[in-house]
Amino acid sequence: MKKIAVFTSGGDSPGMNACIRAVVRTGIKMGAEVVGIRCGYEGMIEADFVPLDSQAVSGIIQQGGTILQTARCARFRTPEGRRMAYDQLMKAGIEGVVAIGGDGTFTGAHVFSQEYDFPFVGTPGTIDNDLFGTDYTIGYDTAINTAMAAIDNIRDTANAHNRLFIVEVMGRDAGFIALRSGIASGAEAVLIPESTSDTQHLLEILSRNEAMRKRANIIVVAEGDEEGGAFQLAKTIRERFPIFETKVTILGHVQRGGRPTCSERVLASRLGMEAVKALLDGRRNVMIGQVHKDITYIPFEQAIKHHQRVNPGLLEMVEMLC
């Protein structure tokens, strides 16, 4: 391949810029011209292509977000939209693409490659850490550290005012952020979608704490938990324990931004480099992951259909230590 492209799609995550940087510099070192596609699949349809050289990606490894920007694209879900994207890639002479994103990104790449036999290689960019075939996704480590730091700050106020705080973190379908940040911040309880929440058990914990006059409590809940999120949980607690001054904090999109951690930058750089090597070696329609420090190549179809499972040891830690 003489010309390849890279784009970011779906939700942004810290480390995407480090991955872009690695793709560009590896591609150039291996003799390929590299272009960036702005705004994901939307930019592919609109031919929003920008040439990238080593200087263009200098000084971005420490930046959150993505210099190529990202967007969701309804048009790419249609055959007509994908045809337009293919025509634009062909017109620009692009022979392969590195896609940085999550489930939706890889679903689009899989469908597109099936229709046009066009080579894509993906790197997992999502704070949720829910993709099968990699121990950690790009953005996850930074997100859990951001959440942990925020919960630590909330703990100070909880202790100062004897308040119960319910902290909702991101994770519509996955509780990985809630689980690790909750354990690391010493939360009294953690509620996640993967584990059926025992509301009665939580109320027993709060009842015990009330008996010990411990009214400063932290409960971490993933936004996708079946209890209905932080506000519904707060309603249940207020009805049962009016003595607790119950507050709700939604961390929201603060978890998506910020400077990526050291581990994040190294992981993103390695996955970006390996993605280019795989693409130029003739691999296609696979996600590059890292499992037990080894590089893995997971077919898009497998990465999409299967999801990362919660470590049962972490669930035991919640039970034992909270």
Residues forming the active site: 128
Quick count: other Cβ atoms within 10 Å of Cβ 48? 17
Token code pair at residue 124: 């997992």
81 φ/ψ angles, rounded to the nearest 5 degrees: -65, -40
Token code pair at residue 190: 């953690």
DSSP string, 104-124: HHHHHHHHHHHHH---EEEEE
Q: Which residues does residue 248 pair with via DSSP β-bridges, in sequence order? A: 166
Taking CB atoms within 8 Å and a gap of at least 24, the contacts of 305-308 are: 305/132, 306/132, 306/133, 307/130, 307/131, 307/132, 307/173, 307/174, 308/129, 308/130, 308/131, 308/132, 308/134, 308/174, 308/176
| Alpha-carbon distance values, 125 to 120, 129, 257, 293 (Å) | 15, 9, 13, 17
203 φ/ψ angles, rounded to the nearest 5 degrees: -65, -35
CA triple 264-110-7, angle to 5 deg: 45
The separation between CA 223 and the C-alpha centre of its own chain, rounded to angstroms, equals 14
Token code pair at residue 292: 């037990």
Q: Which amino acid is at 311?
A: N
**Burial group, residue 207, by CB count within 10 angstroms (0-12, 13-18, 19+):** exposed
